[in-house]
Chain A
Amino acid sequence: MLNSKLKLNKEVFQKDIELKSTREGFAAGLIEAAENNESILSLCADLKHSTKADLFENKFPNRYLEIGIAEQNMAGIAAGLALSGKIPFISSLAIFVPGRNWEQLRLSVCFSNANVKVIGTHAGLMHCYDGGMAQALEDIALTRVLPNMTVIEPIDYWQAKAVAKFAAKHKGPMYIRLGREGTPSITTEETPFDPENAQLLLEGEDITLISSGQITYEVLLAARELMSVHKIKPEVISMPVIKPLDEKTLLRSAKKTKKIITIENHQISGGLGSAISEVITENFPVHVHRMGMQDRFGESGKYHELLDKFGLSAHHIVNQVLNQIKKNE
């Protein structure tokens, strides 16, 4: 059912498939990029095992800087390093980076257009067990309003790996949002990653489903059910690059289906759904329904329990598609 041009994973729906996270993919990609570029540095604020920066440290001990629990200082140091020709990747949990050091990212990094890569892991509900305090559901909103900042949330392990290599070459500030939990890989090592083009994972005609991040797997599960049970053909677009947004792919699909649902592991305000709504209202106003956290905080539980509780599981997506299609009949 998936777009064959993208060389996607044919076994994505198999039950015993290996589950991997975007933080693992990113760490692997960064190490590969760093083999060929000595300017690449990794900085972490006392969470290197969580962010997987420890893998970088093991490989390049002299190019890893342990900053301690001081995210604001880390952003500033990274800016100074970048202004001196280095390519620092700073990492922590998304609640702290960009949560704790937003204003440092604004002034020391973005205002100076310093070449700093900002890695926030355990984003959204994937920081599941630690509860509402730890779940960064606002980080896309925080970063995408910053001039000069690129914002990317890869959908799976392989795409995260490709994003790391892209980030290493890209000049300028970038926020990369990564997940904690393992999910099936939708892409493969052969899937091309083009930052300028969103990926049309599944071509359809009845409604457009757009997501970023690992929650995209839920969207695919929903799409499969919609096709097999309800005979509905959704168009599924993965939009990992939230800023700058691929307006062309978005508008092409909007003109075709005239109905959009966005699905994100983030507050419905300020994130992917908002970004898409902005483009749609200005260019081709059709109905956009945003699925995400409804202006509330999360809580402790298993990742899938949280998705279920907050209305973001595959079956919620199926129901929402049915609602939207019914509304338009």
Chain B
Amino acid sequence: MPDTHLHCQNPTISALEVTANELRKTVIQMLLEAGSGHSAGSLGTADIFAALYFHVLNVDPKKPDWDDRDRFVLSNGHICPVWYATLSEKGFFPKKELWTLRKINSRLQGHPALNCLPGIENSSGSLGQGISQAVGMALAAKMDSKNYRVFVMTGDGELNEGQVWEAAMYAGNKDLNNLVWIIDRNYIQIDGRTEDVQPLENLREKLEAFNWFVIEVDGHNIEEIINACNMAKAVSQRPTAIIAHTIPGKGVEFMEYKVEWHGKAPNKSESMKALRDLRSLDGKISCEYD
């Protein structure tokens, strides 16, 4: 367990790690309850969500539509279980609603739907559209001389979509230092490994060629994630892309790195096994969760 504490404020990194682990457990329970959904990306990005919503983003669950809030746009909408779990943990809506995911009359749609649930900033699921939406929000902030920042997360397989590069080309040439694009680089997509389906490398060089400031982080190192988001603030006159290297299915041993868990939900016995893995957090946390 890293004992690094942030200099400026609480909660501490270790507390954020605990939060991330809570999010993972919630995700497993949600997916079990729903009977379908995407496990790997939801688990793989839990550390990023914990870092963003419990340290980086200036958001207020009591005022979800506050004009000056930071925006978080989810482009790879299929990992919404972790977004919903995070928003609920943050207090945007009651936790008991999480168990309605993908069910009839629920505000927790199988893919995020705007105007449905507090805290949701965009509709997504059809891949490739989130960066453009975020660019629009970042442009509006500049036009209105507002200081809010716009964060957008995409998957990596999603980068096969042409619109991603349209948006990347456009934003790279604009004065959008209020825009941060987080790429969940987990090297899997539905049909296989990204480098087998449609190779993306050298991703860093591609993004740099589009004039983005690029930072690579360990997507499970919360301190690195937070530092990268802070560093992006200091970049002038261009947007920042954070390539967050993650392990798909992170925290659940039998799911980690497994392509087949991209779009699948665990059954009852798999969920029990998953929760056992998460309760010990690789043996690092034990007493509190046994």
Interface residues in chain A, defined as those with a beta carbon under 8 Å from any beta carbon in chain B: 62, 65, 67-68, 70, 72-86, 88, 103-104, 107-108, 111-113
Q: Name which residue of chain B comes closest to A86, CB basis.
A: B140
User: B122 contacts which chain A residues (CB < 8 A)?
Assistant: 79-80, 83, 108, 112
Q: Nearest Cβ distance between residue A46 and chain B, in whole angstroms?
A: 12
- Asked if B163 and A107 make an inter-chain contact with CB atoms under 8 angstroms apart, the answer reads no
- Asked if B123 and A107 make an inter-chain contact with CB atoms under 8 angstroms apart, the answer reads yes
> Could you name 15 residue pairs across A and B whose Cβ atoms are closer than 8 Å?
A68-B166, A72-B129, A72-B162, A76-B133, A76-B136, A77-B170, A79-B132, A79-B133, A80-B133, A81-B137, A81-B140, A84-B144, A86-B140, A103-B126, A111-B123
- Asked if B125 and A107 make an inter-chain contact with CB atoms under 8 angstroms apart, the answer reads yes
Q: Which of A65, A76, A80, A88 has the most CB of B within 10 A?
A: A80
A103 to B126, CA, bound (A): 9
Partner of B166, one of A73, A79, A80: A73
Q: Nearest Cβ distance between residue B116 and chain A, in whole angstroms?
A: 10
**Dominant secondary structure at the A interface:** helix
- Asked if A112 and B139 make an inter-chain contact with CB atoms under 8 angstroms apart, the answer reads no
User: B130 contacts which chain A residues (CB < 8 A)?
Assistant: 76
A86 to B137, CA, bound (A): 10
- In order of increasing CB-CB distance, the 9 nearest A-B pairs are A80-B136, A76-B132, A84-B140, A73-B166, A70-B166, A112-B114, A77-B136, A81-B136, A80-B133
- Asked if B132 and A80 make an inter-chain contact with CB atoms under 8 angstroms apart, the answer reads yes
- Interface status of B240 (Cβ within 8 A of chain A): no
Q: Name which residue of chain A comes closest to B132, CB basis.
A: A76
A272 to B115, CA, bound (A): 31
- Asked if A108 and B129 make an inter-chain contact with CB atoms under 8 angstroms apart, the answer reads yes
Q: Nearest Cβ distance between residue B193 and chain A, in whole angstroms?
A: 27
Q: Nearest Cβ distance between residue A29 and chain B, in whole angstroms?
A: 23
- Asked if A72 and B136 make an inter-chain contact with CB atoms under 8 angstroms apart, the answer reads no
User: A78 contacts which chain B residues (CB < 8 A)?
Assistant: 136
Report the interface size class on chain B: 20 to 34
- Interface status of B169 (Cβ within 8 A of chain A): yes
Q: Nearest Cβ distance between residue A205 and chain B, in whole angstroms?
A: 47
- Asked if B141 and A84 make an inter-chain contact with CB atoms under 8 angstroms apart, the answer reads yes
A68 to B113, CA, bound (A): 29
Partner of B136, one of A62, A84, A107, A111: A84
- Interface status of B143 (Cβ within 8 A of chain A): yes
User: A112 contacts which chain B residues (CB < 8 A)?
Assistant: 113-115, 122-123
CB proximity to A under 8 Å, residues B112-169: 113-115, 121-126, 128-141, 143-144, 162-163, 166-167, 169
Partner of B129, one of A70, A83, A84, A107: A107
Partner of B132, one of A72, A82, A86: A72
- Asked if A79 and B136 make an inter-chain contact with CB atoms under 8 angstroms apart, the answer reads yes
- Assess A70 versus B170: contact at CB under 8 Å? Given A82-B136, A83-B122, A112-B122: yes
- Asked if A104 and B137 make an inter-chain contact with CB atoms under 8 angstroms apart, the answer reads no
Q: Nearest Cβ distance between residue A139 and chain B, in whole angstroms?
A: 20
A70 to B135, CA, bound (A): 14
A81 to B136, CA, bound (A): 4
User: B123 contacts which chain A residues (CB < 8 A)?
Assistant: 107-108, 111-112
User: B73 contacts which chain A residues (CB < 8 A)?
Assistant: 80
A104 to B75, CA, bound (A): 13
A81 to B114, CA, bound (A): 15
- Asked if A72 and B135 make an inter-chain contact with CB atoms under 8 angstroms apart, the answer reads no
A104 to B126, CA, bound (A): 9
Q: Nearest Cβ distance between residue B171 and chain A, in whole angstroms?
A: 9
Q: Nearest Cβ distance between residue B120 and chain A, in whole angstroms?
A: 10
Q: Nearest Cβ distance between residue B258 and chain A, in whole angstroms?
A: 29
A82 to B125, CA, bound (A): 19
A78 to B131, CA, bound (A): 12
- Assess A76 versus B163: contact at CB under 8 Å? Given A112-B122, A112-B123: yes
Q: Name which residue of chain B comes closest to A71, CB basis.
A: B166
User: B140 contacts which chain A residues (CB < 8 A)?
Assistant: 80-81, 84-86
User: A81 contacts which chain B residues (CB < 8 A)?
Assistant: 136-137, 139-140
